[in-house]
């Protein structure tokens, strides 16, 4: 389900939020599907339950999930969830482009990569 990269420098809470957004974006999580309980996910990821709770609150405030008292948290079918997914994808893409530029890739090289991905539909290309 979710995997954390403790060496990435990205806060664990943000990795959890992005992970659930990614699951929704890729169609690996359906609207109405229940998320693991805070306690279950904390044990599975070896993370403090407060971190999971904070991530769930962030997901709920952005409309990606909703909570039902006594039942748990569920993926939303709210259009705001789709907007949050698109915003996250744009943020991730922008971050990757900035990193690539800082590493010396030229504008033309970045455009070539984008064109390759759009033509072939894959995310890795030399």
Instruction: Name the percent of the chain lying above pLDDT 70.
Output: 94
Average pLDDT over the chain, rounded to an integer: 87
pTM of the model: 0.69
Q: Is 55 exposed, middle or buried (0-12, 13-18, 19+ CB in 10 A)?
A: buried
Distance CA 112, CA 54 (A): 39
User: Residue 100, exposed/middle/buried by CB under 10 A (0-12, 13-18, 19+)?
Assistant: middle
Token code pair at residue 87: 């915003």
Please give the CATH number for the structural domain made up of 12-81: 1.10.10.10
- What's the whole-number mean pLDDT along residues 106-124? 81
Res. 121: pLDDT tops 70: no
Q: pLDDT tens for residues 50-105?
A: 999 999 999 999 889 999 999 999 999 877 667 777 887 788 888 888 988 999 99
């Amino acid at each position: 389900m979710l995997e954390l990269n403790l060496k990435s420098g990205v806060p664990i809470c943000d990795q959890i939020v992005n992970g659930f957004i990614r699951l929704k974006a890729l169609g690996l999580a359906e609207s109405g599907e229940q998320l693991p309980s805070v306690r279950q996910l904390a044990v599975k990821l070896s993370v403090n339950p407060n971190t999971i709770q904070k991530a769930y609150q962030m997901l709920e405030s952005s409309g990606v999930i909703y909570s039902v008292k006594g039942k748990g948290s569920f993926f939303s079918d709210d259009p705001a969830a789709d907007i949050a997914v698109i915003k996250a994808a744009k943020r991730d893409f922008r971050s990757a482009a900035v990193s690539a530029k800082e590493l010396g890739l030229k504008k033309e090289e970045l455009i070539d990569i984008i064109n390759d991905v759009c033509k072939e539909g894959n995310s890795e290309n030399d």
